[in-house]
Amino acid sequence: MKTLLMLSPIFLVFLATIYFIWAFNKRTRKLAHQKEIIKAGDRGEYKVQSALTPLEKPNSRYKVYHNVRLGPDALHTNEYDSVVIGPNGIFHIETKNYGGERGGIIDVDSRGNWILHKKNGYSKIISNPAGQVDSHEYRLKGFLNRVVGVRNLPTQGIIVLSCDKVSIRYNKKAKRDIPIMSRHELLDYIQNYSRGKLVLYPRTIKKICKNIEEMNRMERAN
């Protein structure tokens, strides 16, 4: 009995050590997985940024911003992957690297759920970015109305799938309110976009750009 009592603290310490090692390894694996997801997202954003490079030439009528924050005030902002301002509209782009480098097929069902089928046979439900784009649209409108002081400008949210090997299939009843495209289609879509006779004059574009830069200088300072 005395021997058991003497061994009990040692045994408890042993169990605690095993648990600590297990918990540490689990957390390490989780952090490594999160880093891989972030890296994959960064690679996807870089691909889309490269696709928009032609709009950033000195003689371009467009102005392009990446990873900026916009909103009706400094306390209520969203971060945007890319924003493009041009004579035919203001485009806010949400980049998704679903499918990674190998790709797959995304099914959109009648309720708006997204199901990713990878090439290895694995399937999972993934986040539908439509809600994110709607939130960006709301904040952008607030920015234009309250910060820039301009209303009724043509704005358009876009979801871009940066992986070249992913395709999307829609259920017949699925909503298609927000355009979804590959990065190779993005440039042509922006340049040929038209919302009737609504146009942005150079002075309006300049005013919008000035306020974007001012808001983000404030964000970085804080």
Return the closest-CA partner of residue 82 out of 167, 177, 176, 189: 189
* CB neighbour burial string for 130-167, b if at least 16 within 10 angstroms, e if fewer: bebbeebbebbbbbbeebbeeeebbbbbbbbbbbeebe
> Tokens representing 65?
């911003």
DSSP letter for each residue of 64-118: EEEEEEEEEETTEEEEEEEEEEETTEEEEEEEE-TTTTT-EEEEE-TT--EEEEE
CATH 3.40.1350.10, applies to 35-221: yes
Per-residue pLDDT of the chain (222 residues; tens, 9 = 90+): 555 445 466 655 666 666 666 655 655 554 443 444 444 445 768 999 999 999 999 899 999 999 999 999 999 999 999 999 999 999 999 999 998 777 899 999 988 999 999 888 889 999 999 999 999 999 999 999 999 998 889 999 999 999 999 999 998 888 889 999 999 999 999 999 998 777 899 999 999 999 999 999 876 666
Over the stretch 1-31, which tens digit does the pLDDT of each residue have?
Answer: 555 445 466 655 666 666 666 655 655 554 4
Over the stretch 78-104, which tens digit does the pLDDT of each residue have?
Answer: 999 999 999 999 999 999 999 877 789
| Residue 164: strand pairing partners | none
How far apart are alpha carbons 64 and 147 in whole angstroms? 19
pLDDT of 173:
82
pLDDT of 101:
73
How far apart are alpha carbons 191 and 55 in whole angstroms? 9
pLDDT of 20:
61
pTM: 0.78
pLDDT of 14:
62
pLDDT of 32:
42
How far apart are alpha carbons 105 and 166 in whole angstroms? 6
pLDDT of 36:
45
Sign of CA dihedral 9, 11, 17, 20: negative
Q: In this prediction, what percent of the chain has a pLDDT beyond 70?
A: 79
Neighbours of 14 (CB within 10 A): 11
CA angle, residues 197, 90, 211, in degrees to nearest 5: 120
pLDDT of 172:
85
How far apart are alpha carbons 126 and 105 in whole angstroms? 12
Compute the CA torsion angle 158, 162, 168, 174 (nearest 10 deg). Answer: -20
Residue boundaries of the structural domains of the chain? 35-221
